[in-house]
Amino acid sequence: MSPFWIQLSGNLLNGIILGSVYGLMTMGLSLIFGVLKIVNVGHGAFMMIGAYIAYWMFHLLGIPPILSLFIALAVGLALGYLFFQIVIRRLTAAPELTTLLATFAMGILLEESARALWGPDFRGFSWNVGRLMLPPVAIIPLGKIYALLSSIIVAVLLYLWFKKGRSGSAVRAVMEDREGARVCGINVEGIYALSFSVGIGLTVVSGDLLTLFVPVGINPYMGGVYTLKAFVIAVLGGLSSPWGAFFSGFLFGLIENGSYTLFGLVPGIEPFSMTQFFAFFLLLIILLWKPTGLFGAK
């Protein structure tokens, strides 16, 4: 196998693994939009909180990110419920621009709070638990494999909750028809609070797992680029479809890592910038072909 194909195969494999975390981070965004019809433009700031949780749990207590995700989930659920009760509950019937500004303000509040508490400097840690050797294609840190498995497990548990749990079924009913759900006796306000809390919880967990891929890039303003990626993935899979978002995360990871390898062969261009351009260009093409996304709207 030539060096190019070895590099491409390794990058695609890493793209699939990273795509699992991309999918998980976008499930929260899609769940919130699917139930409340609110676009959370402060999405990346909640991921940043998850990254700091992973950092501080490891730095202070020696708890690895794969275990601190339970703490991240608890913090995310609490933050989601708090922000819903203080901000979102009053805006569920407000115009879209109002909710966009509100979630943007939430993100700014979290970023500036993190800066005030922990400073603007980049932080990081190293959790080395061995490597998986796949010669000649790739050498993959086991931490990334754990992130892949954790993302899949969380997604499966969420799926089972949606399909088997009573509250999960109520969430699906509100996604389908909120007025019909209200007539059937479902507490729509309660489902709003639950969905927003779970959506934020998933987002914070994904930020925790992301540190297994970028362990040295933790800072208060790290979330912006992931907000953009989450929007691309969400629209790609169908903005109201958490499952479409999860599977589209894998696709986006493949596109991102594969195109980086290809653009690296072209002289005179910066591969990372072109990768971002290509992702949005492909999104445009797919939406022209299928406006509801690859997995539909629901």
Nearest to 247 by CA among 281, 181, 195, 293: 293
**Confidence (pTM):** 0.92
Q: What is the pLDDT of residues 154-164, one digit of tens each?
A: 999 999 998 88
| Three-class SS state of 23 | helix
pLDDT in tens, 244-278: 899 999 989 988 888 888 888 788 788 877 887 88
Distances (CA, A) of 56 to 49, 82, 204, 233, 241: 11, 22, 14, 29, 33
CB count within 10 Å of CB 146 equals 19
- pLDDT at residue 297 greater than cutoff 60: no
Is the pLDDT score of 51 beyond 60?
yes
pLDDT digits (tens, 9 = 90+) for 71-99: 999 999 999 999 999 999 999 888 888 99
Q: Per mean pLDDT, which range of 61-75, 207-221, 246-260 is the poorest?
A: 246-260
| pLDDT-above-90 percentage for the chain | 57
What domains, with CATH codes, occur in the chain? 3-289 (1.10.3470)
- CA distance linking residue 106 with residue 103, whole number of Å: 5
Residue 186 has pLDDT above 70, yes or no: yes
